[in-house]
Amino acid sequence: MQRYTTLEAVIFDWAGTVVDFGSFAPTQVLIEVFTQVGVPVSLAEARVPMGLAKWDHIQALGRLPAVAERWQARFGRAMTDADVDALYQQFMPLQVAKVAAYSAPIPGAVDTVNLLRARGLKIGSCSGYPRVVMDQLLPLAAAAGYAPDHCVATDDLAAGGRPGPWMALDNVLALRVGDVRHCVKVDDTTPGIAEGLRAGMWTVGLSASGNAVGLTAAEWAALDPAEQAKRRAPAVAQLRQAGAHYVLDTLVELPAVLDEIERRVQAGERP
């Protein structure tokens, strides 16, 4: 098997990228928390800020015009940071309790990661989940065959999370990567793509397995090609608009793209 001689590392997101096809774990809990306080939100609304740290996600969700209007009608005022704090406190134990239900690897993801390791790549990871959730998810993923070389949670770093570059760059430091241009960031959300770009990396977006399409693996597989194309198109457009160098359905397609990036880097191209 030919090993990569230039590329050094791939840094993966978690939900919607390696585990949790359709990225359901965060959205389902957010819907439940907002419902508990009498402000219902739809699944589509809960998905809009996906990729941000969860406190930021709750705040951004509350600022969506339709949600803000419902909040105003329910409480007679706009959502405050104190409200976000309270919702976050409700969110956290529910997310910890329910992350296991959505921890299954995306089909083909573990085999793909193993192939990349065999070709000499280091495997990094980062997430919009806080550390307390990642501590629940990591052993479940390891038992299913996925154990990255490094993992950064959104509250691990004082600088913060996405769309800033800091979690991706923490992987660079921990993995002792010699050049950020030799890294590839893989994510299903626009803040995750922004993270990779700001860190100076190549970026690959995932459409079918991710937040924007928002279907389970079985639901996606049951669609005919025409319906898949219809569902895929907005997700691809969103990720490309965010600046993704490549957009794929799932990780199964990643090795071929890494081969192309390897050739481009060797030819002197930059992300």
Q: Known catalytic residues?
A: 13, 54
Contact 271, 182 (CB under 8 A): no
DSSP class per residue in 220-250: HHHS-HHHHHHHHHHHHHHHHHTT-SEEESS
Alpha carbon of 264 to those of 2, 253, 259, 271: distances in Å?
17, 18, 9, 9
Distance in angstroms (rounded) separating the CA atoms of residues 25 and 8 = 31
* Gap between the Cα atoms of 39 and 31, Å rounded: 9
Q: Please, are residues 25 and 99 in contact by the beta-carbon 8 Å criterion? A: yes
Give the amino acid at 83: D
